[in-house]
Chains A and B, each alone.
Chain A
Amino acid sequence: MSVVAGRNDAAIAAAALRSDRFRIEREADWKRLEDILDRMERGRISRLADEDLLELPVLYRTVASSLSVARETSLDAATLAYLETLVQRAWFLVYGPRTSLLGWLRRFFGGEWSRSVRAIWPEILVALILMVAGTAVGWLLCAADPQWYYSLVPGQFLDVRQPGASREVLLGTLFGNQDQPQLSVMAAYLFNNNAGVAITCFALGFAFGVPPILLLIQNTTPLGAMLWLYNGQGLTLDLIGWISIHGTTELFAILLAGASGLHIGRSMAFPGDLSVLDAAAKAGQRASVVMAGVLIMMAIAGLLEGFARQLIDNTPARLAVGYGILAFWVVYFFLFRRVPPASEAI
């Protein structure tokens, strides 16, 4: 240590310029920070000693203050450029994403998710109205002219479920499918598919919210059409049970995804005091928390649709499961008002 200090003293004395002496006095700290940054950027955080990690923010501030002083006192362009680079690299890491996934998840489930959902309640209300409207439109169109059924309901449901089908045929589509093979594959496929729809709903929001509105309506008109069909044979409640067991979760997730999209769209159309870009960013970050949750809900809905619906073969039990889960979501989102500690988001 004393050898190094001695050499350093000699170097400081040898430098003719005051600003160079300033640099030589602090160089050791700069080099130390650079070394830590090199190792972290190479992705070897696990090999870094804890003290290095703890030292990073301290060194960052030390070097940042060196930069501030150097800007006022030194005309050594190379050293200034080096310091700017160093501060920027350290800034990336000091203000980088929190690396612990576990910590993020804990905060996410421990309040961040439900808080973000509550934050977009106006859009949730609008999305709900749109979905109800979409269902009603589907029903009314089919009631007016059964031909509408063929254009509203997607091909995969157009097997035997057509206008004019007998009660027995329709009943057969709702019950008695326990021995259907590949339940798990079905669940995985459904999840993939529905998650895609939800992400689209969210992502298109930035086109000022118009596409999510269309998607919300488009996704619920087939529901109205099918309700009309089954209602004709007095099977309304059974169909609701068949849909509700997973649908309360899935439709709620689509509702939230659409609301997230609308939230972004609305913030861009009416940014208030912020610039459009800032408003979009703020809304986008809040909505992305909701979306992370939507994907989780979609996974649950996929499991329910793939397994539970085939395994639970009677309407009361299906209704109980579906609305039990719905009650859970509502309680979790709107009554669970814990504020997560050390929140990252705004």
Chain B
Amino acid sequence: MSQPRPDRRDRRRTMITPEGIALPITLASRGSRFGALMIDLIVMTLGFTAFNLLLGLIAALLDLADGKGPSKSPKSDPLFDFLNVAAFMLLFLFRHGYFLIFELGPRGSTPGKRMLGIRVAARDGGRLTTEMVLARNLLRDIELFLPIGALASLAGGGTGNAVILLWLLLFALLPFINRDRLRAGDLVAGSWVVERPRQKLEAVMSSGQTAATGTSQTTGASYRFSDAELAIYGELELQTLERVLRENRHEAMIAVHEAICRKIGWNPGAGDERAFLEVYYTQLRNRLESGMRMGKRKASKHE
């Protein structure tokens, strides 16, 4: 059976909902968070540039409408003032509003996060509040925008740049030195970034004719396993069997069929493996679930 990669395994956490239900969740990987950030920065830059171009276009059109041609000193024109103010406000809105507005939406994620299947959630399992989203994004300013802005304005300055790069590095390293991969903003907000799970509802296992009657629909052979024959396996093996049946790969089923037959001392035939496994699965699960209802569980064959 394929265990999840070690990286994925130590990203698993259990979260308790306010109703007291323990839910397994998976933290977003640092890679996907970095990727999401890059996508968002690109979207922001494009959006901001587009709006600025639009403002510039409006300004140019107004100039032409004036009939005076492009003026050299538009300083006192109230319309230009207005456009200038709009540009400043736009800068502010993009810098502080972009993440805020998207993360406050029902999806809890910016376009970048959505594309990579991750979202923001409250660390304590409670409500993700407006305050949390505010806090985590106010911190983003000193983690990211402030040093980048300083870097741009200092372009080429020696020691200043080194200090700023160190600054950026410190914040970038923070997710690597705490267990839950929190960046400074998550730390102060009480939030974290998790994967958005996807899982389809699979078919019911025991409603097929074969499983229900214990009789193969292809060969007509009837299978009935004794208690001793079912007692050798536990829940772990049942899950493996379930996966083999759901994946429905012929070679895998032949191998598992042979393994079970060897174990219970049957003579493995050929041609009816799926029916055999379906019946064995159903009866094994029935046995284990009956045990569960009585408060007895068997985790694996080693118990």
A contact residues vs B (CB 8 Å cutoff): 11, 14-20, 23-24, 27, 30-31, 34, 40-41, 43, 45, 61, 64, 67-68, 72-79, 81-82, 84-89, 91-93, 95-99, 101, 104, 181-185, 187-189, 191-192, 195-196, 199-200, 202-204, 206, 264, 277-278, 280-289, 291-292, 295, 344-345
Interface residues in B208-225 by Cβ distance below 8 A to A read 211-212
| Total interface residues in chain B, CB < 8 Å | 78
Q: Which 8 A-B pairs have the closest CB atoms?
A: A281-B190, A284-B188, A188-B88, A288-B135, A85-B199, A285-B131, A288-B134, A78-B202
C-alpha spacing A13/B227, complex, angstroms: 24
Interface string of B131-151 (1 = CB under 8 A from A): 111110011011100100000
**B293 contacts across to A, CB distance below 8 A:** 73
Of the listed residues B75, B122, B130, the one surrounded by the most CB atoms of chain A closer than 10 A to its CB is B130
B24 at the interface (CB under 8 A from A): yes
Identity of the chain A residue whose Cβ is nearest the Cβ of B184 in the assembled complex: A206
The reply to whether A192 and B242 contact each other, CB–CB distance below 8 Å, is: no
B107 at the interface (CB under 8 A from A): yes
B112 at the interface (CB under 8 A from A): no
The reply to whether A99 and B106 contact each other, CB–CB distance below 8 Å, is: yes
Contact of A75 among B129, B139, B289 (CB under 8 A): B289
Contact of B188 among A41, A74, A281 (CB under 8 A): A281
The reply to whether A185 and B85 contact each other, CB–CB distance below 8 Å, is: yes
The reply to whether B188 and A264 contact each other, CB–CB distance below 8 Å, is: yes
The reply to whether B134 and A15 contact each other, CB–CB distance below 8 Å, is: no
Beyond the given pairs A84-B23, A185-B81, 17 more chain A to chain B contacts, judged by CB atoms under 8 angstroms and listed by A's residue number, are A27-B201, A40-B106, A43-B106, A75-B289, A78-B246, A82-B201, A84-B197, A97-B103, A97-B127, A184-B82, A191-B92, A192-B91, A277-B187, A278-B124, A284-B190, A344-B130, A345-B131
C-alpha spacing A41/B84, complex, angstroms: 37
The reply to whether A206 and B134 contact each other, CB–CB distance below 8 Å, is: no
Identity of the chain B residue whose Cβ is nearest the Cβ of A289 in the assembled complex: B131
**B23 contacts across to A, CB distance below 8 A:** 84, 87-88, 91
